[in-house]
Amino acid sequence: MSSREQPDTLCFFINGKKVTEEHADPETTLLSFLREKLRLTGTKYGCGGGGCGACTVMVSRYQLASKTITHYSANACLLPLCQLHGAAVTTVEGVGSTKTRLHPVQERIAKAHGSQCGFCTPGMVMSMYTLLRNEPQPAMEDITQALAGNLCRCTGYRPIIDGCRTFCQQEADCCQVNGGGRCCLNGGEDADDHGAPQLFDKMEFAPLDPTQEPIFPPELILTAETSSPRTLTFRGERMTWVSPVSLEELVQLKARNPRAPLVMGNTSIGPEVKFKGVLHPLAISPARVSQLFEVTQTPEGVLVGAGCTLFEVQTFLEKVLLQFPEEKTEIFRALIQQIRNVGSQQIRNVATLGGNILSAYPNSDLNPVLAAGRCKVSAVSSGGRREVPVNQDFFVSFGKTVLQLDEIVVSVFIPFSRKGEFVRAFRQAPRKESSFATVTTGMRVVFRGRSRVVEEVSIYYGGVGATIISAANTCAAIITRPWSDETLSRAYDVLLDELQLPPSAPGGKVEFRRSLTLSFLFKFNLEVLQKLREMDGITDELPQKIQPLPGKIQAGLQEFQHVSEAQSDQDPVGRPIMHRSAISQTTGEAVYLDDIPRMDGELFLALVTSSRAHAKIMGLDVSKALQLPGVVDIITAKDIPGKKARSMFGYDEELLAQTQVSCVGQLVCAVVADTRAHAKRGASAVKIGYEDLPHPVFTIEEAIERSSFFEPRRKIERGDVTEAFQTVDRVHEGEIHIGGQEHFYMETQSMLVVPVGEETEFKVYASTQWPTLVQEAVAETLAIPSNRVTCHVKRIGGAFGGKVTKTSILASITSVAAWKMNCAVRCVLERGEDMLITGARHPVLGKYKVGFMNDGRIVAADIQYYTNAGNSVDESLLVAEKILLHMDSAYNIPNLRGQVAACRTNLPSNTAFRGFGVPQSVLVVENMINDVAMVLERPTDQIREISMYKGPSVTHYKLSFSPENLLRCWEECKVKADYGSRCRAVDQFNQQNRWRKRGMAIVPIKYGIAFAESFLNQGAALVHIYKDGSVLVSHGGTEMGQGIHTKIQQVASRELRIPPSKIHISETSTNTVPNTCPSAASFGTDANGVAVKKACETLYQQLEPIRQKNPKGSWESWVQAAFFEKISLSATGFYRGPDLYMDWDKMEGRPYAYFTNGVSCCEVELDVLTGDYRTVRTDIVMDVGRSLNPSVDIGQIEGAFMQGLGLYTLEELKFSPSGLLYTRGPSQYKIPAVCDVPLGFNVYLLSDSHNPHAIYSSKGIGEPALFLGSSVFFALKDAVAAARSESGLVGPFLLNSPATAERMCLACASPFIKKVPASKPGSFTPWSLNI
C-alpha cells in the first residue's frame, strides 16, 4: 500500500472552519462525523442509503485544471469522510442561523409554510441552496430536479415548491407566486386587487444576493496550486483507505489487491457495507487520478473519463448536442434522458459513469443504451490496456462483468450516430423519479439509405434477467426487412418467446415486466415511424406518436376566509401564522431526540429481532457478541424486573420474546455497547436457534380459512338488509383489497433513558405521541411508581399514529438497559429496522353485496371487512370498530349491514395510522358505488349525488347530524373544478388518444372527530406568567408537525391579549401536565386548546383587579404589580371533553363530537402502455369550521392528501413467502415525491362554516383529508375504464389498491398485455405474498 507507516492527516473545511483529523476512520461517513464528532446535528439521519435527502450537504471543490470552484449537493450518509480531503463542506448551520442571519432559502421555505415536522427541512434547504449557488435565478425545472431526491412526509411539497418558486425570475412577478390567489395570466385579476387573504407575502422576503455567500477557503486553493499531490493513506479500526494520484500507481495497487473495491461516489459500495454488512479491509479511492476524468472528442465519437460523475457526463453531452447536427447525437440524447432518471441529483453528483457500468445492475438505466449504442470501455491493468465492447458478452452474471478483478476502466467511448440511425431509451419505474427501474431498454436501428429497410438493429433490455439482455432473435427477425407492421408484428411474437421470465422471478411483476418489453418496442416503432416520415422515407398515414405525460407544476390556489374586520390586529387567531418552529427547523437549530448531546458514559442499544415468522426459540448464543469491541451487555427478558409484557384488550404482547416468536422482526433481545456501530455489530453477532412451527398464517385469506381472529368481531346493521335485497332492481357483488402503508415518518423511533441517580428515578426522552403511555410502560417494566418516571417530548419528526404503542415497548426495553447499567442509554432505530419492527397501516379485504334501483338509488348494502392485524392485537380492534362506524361514508343507504374481523397473522403487528381504518373502510364503499355506476353505465358522480345524506340525517349508529356543509363542499368543488366542462374535455381527449387516457373523479368524505373511548377526549394545561411578563405554556399535546404548539400559542395570545412573541412552549412532559391523552384522532387542538383557554381565562381574570387600578398600564406592569400583591401567576386548565360512547350490543351511540367534511376532484393522465400516470389537477374544498390557522390547516389538508395518494396509488409493502418484509427503505418503498404533486393543486376552505363543538368554532383536520387521495385512485380507474373500452371491455372490473403501474397496466388489457400468458396460481411459489 503506502510506504509510510503513519496514516496521513485528513484536512478539509466545514462551514469555513478548517478540520484536521489525525485518525480518520475509512468506515466513518460524513454524516456520523458531523453529528457525533462536531455536534452539527442539523444534518439528519433519515435512511442511511441516500434515498431520502435528509442528510443533504453541499460539497465544494477547487478544480486545478480549469481554476474554477464547483458546488454540488451530496448525501452525507454515503460520503466517506476520507473522500473529503481538500474539499469544503457546507451544512445547514453554515448557510444561516437565528444567531447570525437567515439565508433567503431558509426564510422563504419557513414563511411559505414549507416546514411542518421539520425533520426533512435542512435537507430541502441544502438542495435548494446548492442550486442557487450554481443558478441564482433557476428555472422551475431546475427546482423540481434539485428537490427530487428530498422526501417529505408532512407537507405534500406544495408550500416548499411555492417558497422556492419565488427565486425563479420568469415567475417572480406572477401574482400566483405570492402565496395563492387568482392569476392575471389565466384571465383572473391579481388577488391583491380584491384584498383576498394570502398565505404569505413575498414582498417581505429578503432578496438573494449571490455576492454575500461565503468564499471558498483560500488555503485549499493555495494548497492545490502549490503542493505536489501524493498518495494518502488512512487507517481505521477495521479498514484502510488508500488514495493514489497516478494511474500507474492505481494499477499497481489494484494488481496487488485485486479484491479491493474502487470507491468514488460510494453509491454502490456504501449501501452494500451498510445494509449487507460487507467489510472491505482495503478500499482504493482513485478520485485524484486525473486520467480518469479526461474528456476528449474524436472524429468517431467522444471519450469520457470513467471517473466523471453522471451529472458531469450529462453536462458534457448537453454541450456536445449544441455543436453537432441532430443525426450525429442520437446516442447522446438517449443517454442524457436516462442519466436524468438515475437516482437523485445528490446521487448523480457523485456516482460515476464507470461505477455505474461496472455495478452491472440487471435493471441499469444506462447499460442497455450503451450496449445498443455500440459503446466501449477502455480497461487497463498491469497486463496492459484493452478495448472491451459493452454488449451481451460484457455482463456475465448478476453484478459481474467480463473484466478481470485487477482491471480498471479508464474511459468510455460513445460513438456519434450517423444518418439513418435512430436511438431511443425507455424505462418504467415504481415512481417517476429517484427510483430504480422495473424495466429499461436501449434500442437502435439503422436504415439503408433513405429506404425503410433495416440495415442494423440492436435491442437491449434491463430488468428482465440477472443481467441486461440482448434481444438478438428479435433483432434477427427485423434486420434486412422493411420497417412495417408485418415485420414488427412478427418481432413482438419473437420477443415474447425470447425473453422468458419464470413466474417466481426475483422482483415479481412478471406479466407486467414481460408486457413492458413489448410496449417499449411498440413505442420505439412509433418513434421510428415519425423519424422515417421526417426523412421522407414513408408517406403513409401514421399512428399517433405517444407524447410524454405533462410535467410542469403550476402555482396553485389556496383560498380561505378573512378574519372579521372587528378582530384586533393583535389577535392572531384565524390568521396564517407561520409554524412557531419553522425558522429553527430551516436553520437546523431545532432539536430532535437524537440531536440531544451525548451524556457522559452513555451507551447505545441495538435490537436483535427474529428471522422466523412462526417458531420456537431453541437457544440464544450471545458469546460472540460479548467478545466484540465495545459491547457491554445483552438485555433479555430475564433482565426485566417488572412486567415482561404489555396488555391490550386481554391480549399480552411480550417486550422480548422468551420461548416462541410469531413474526419476522419480533424483538428477542438487545445489545448494549459504547457506540452505535459497536452495538449494531454486536446485534449481528447474536445467534438464535429456532424450530419452525407448522402452518404460519400470513394473508387474510389464510386467516379466514383457519379462523385466526382477534376477538371480539363487530357487527352493525340498520334497516332490514335481507328483505331489502328482495325488492331491488339489481344486485351486484364485488370486492377490493387495500394494501398496507408504512408510516415512513422521517425521524425513526428514538428514545433516551437517563437514570437520575437516586430513588430509582428516570428521565425518558422519547419521540412519542403519548408521553403518559411511555411513562406508565417504563414504570411497569421497572416495577416502580409512575412518579419516578418523567417523559419529555420536545418535538417529533413525524408520527402519523406510528409512535404510540410500539414506542412505549421500545422505551421499556431501553429503560431496562438504563436500569441495569445505571447509565444513560439511547436507542435510535435505523430505517430498515423501524420498517421491519413497527408495523404499518392495516391491509383490508372488503367484500360487498349491493342492491340498487335502475334509477341509481342504492337501497341495500352488506359489507364484510377483514383486516390483517399481524401477530399482536395492538390497536387493531379499535381500528376495526372505526371501520364499521365510517362505512356509511357520505351516503344514506337505508338498509346497511357491516361486519369486521381483525385477522391474527404471523406478520409484524399493524397499528394506528392517520385515518385509523377510515381510508380503508370508505374506499370499499366508494368502490362499491363505482361498480353500481358501471353496471348502470352512468357517471359515478351522479350515483354518489343520489345516495348522499340530505336534510336532517341519522347515521347507521343513530347519531343525528346535518349534512349541509358536506353538500356545500360537494357543490362548491364541482364549481371550483369546472367539473362538467372538464369531464367533456376528458371524453374528447380519450376519443383522440389511443395510448394515453384521462380520467376524472369527485369524491366526498364525512369524518368523525374525537375518540369513541370517552376518557381519551380530556385535555389539560399549565400556564405560568413570569415577572417580566413572559408566558410559559405546557399542555398534553405533542408537536409532530401538525402545528398544535402554534395553534395553542395563538389561543393563549387571544385569551391573555398579548402578542404571541411573549408566549413560549418548551416541551410536553409528564411532570408538568400529568395523565395526558395521545395526540391523535385529529383531536389534539380541540382538547388541549380548550384547556389552555381555561387556564388563560383564569389568569386574565386574576389580573382584573390590577387592570382596574391601572387601566393604561402595560402587560408587564400588571404582572409585576400582581406579584407584589401576591396574586397567583400560575394556573391549570382542564377540559373533560365530550361524553362519547358506542354501544355495540344496541348498535347505537354517539362516538364522535362532530364531522369534518370535504370533497376532492381529480383529473389524471395515464400512459396505457406502461401504467405511468400524472395527476393533472386536484381541487379540494374542505370544511374546517373557522380555521384557527389557515396556513397550518391547508398544510394538513395537502399533506394528508399526498399521503392518501401514496396509499392508493404508490406505496406497496412486499413480504417474502417466509414473512420477511422486503421493502425496508426508500429504495424499495416509494412514498410520494415532488414528481407526484398534482400539477395544479388548489385548496379552498369552506367559508361561513361554524362548529359549536370545538374551540373558536374550528374543526379537527389532521386525518380527514387523507381519504381524499382516493380521488386520484378513482380518476385512474376512470382512465383505465376508458382504455378497457378500446378493447371492448365494459362494466365493473377489479382494481386493487394501491393502483400501481403494474395493476393499472394489466387492468387496461392492451393488446400487449393480452399477448403475455398468465401464470397459473398455485403452480409456482411467488416472489412475494399478496398481503
Name the residues annotated as catalytic.
1263
Cβ atoms of 54 and 47 within 8 Å: the answer is yes
Closest alpha carbon to 76 in 54, 105, 96, 93: 54
Give pairs for 559-562: CB < 8 Å, separation 24+.
559/180, 559/181, 559/196, 559/1242, 559/1243, 559/1244, 559/1245, 560/197, 560/1187, 560/1190, 560/1193, 560/1194, 560/1244, 560/1245, 561/197, 561/1186, 561/1187, 561/1190, 561/1245, 561/1247, 561/1248, 562/195, 562/197
Query: How many helices and strands (H and E) does the chain possess?
Result: 38, 50
Q: Which three cell numbers stand for residue 1162?
A: 381529480
Closest alpha carbon to 357 in 314, 296, 409, 415: 409
Rounded CA-CA distance 71/435 in Å is 24
Distances (CA, A) of 392 to 165, 422, 495, 824: 45, 20, 16, 57
Rounded CA-CA distance 1234/161 in Å is 8
Q: Which three cell numbers stand for residue 530?
A: 415519425
Burial class (CB in 10 A: 0-12, 13-18, 19+), 333: middle
Q: Which residues contact 991 (CB under 8 A, 6 or more apart)?
A: none
User: Under the phi-then-psi rule, with left for phi > 0, alpha for psi from -120 to 50, and beta for the rest, what region is 1114?
Assistant: beta
Q: Can you spell out the DSSP letters for 43-93?
A: SPPS-SSSSS-TTEEEEEEEETTTTEEEEEEEETTT-BGGGGTT-EEE-HH
How many Cβ atoms from other residues are within 10 Å of residue 566's Cβ? Answer: 5
Rounded CA-CA distance 693/700 in Å is 19
Q: Which residues contact 1084 (CB under 8 A, 6 or more apart)?
A: 1037, 1038, 1042, 1044, 1260, 1262
Name the packing angle between helices 1270-1286 and 918-936 (round to 10°): 30
Is the four-CA dihedral 533, 537, 543, 547 of positive or negative sign?
Answer: negative
Q: Which three cell numbers stand for residue 853?
A: 334501483
Note the residue count of the chain: 1331
Rounded CA-CA distance 742/289 in Å is 44
Describe the strand order of the beta sheet including 439-447 as a list of residue ranges. 421-428, 439-447, 454-462, 469-470
Pairing of strands 1130-1135, 858-870: unpaired
Pairing of strands 858-870, 895-904: parallel
Distances (CA, A) of 168 to 161, 174, 883, 959: 11, 10, 46, 52
Helix or strand or coil: residue 473?
Answer: helix
Cβ atoms of 676 and 885 within 8 Å: the answer is no
How many Cβ atoms from other residues are within 10 Å of residue 1294's Cβ? Answer: 12
Q: Residue 974 is inside which H or E element, if any?
A: helix 964-976
Q: Which three cell numbers stand for residue 303?
A: 471519450
Closest alpha carbon to 423 in 542, 306, 327: 327
Cβ atoms of 897 and 717 within 8 Å: the answer is yes
Q: Which three cell numbers stand for residue 229?
A: 499531490
Q: Which three cell numbers stand for residue 334?
A: 438517449
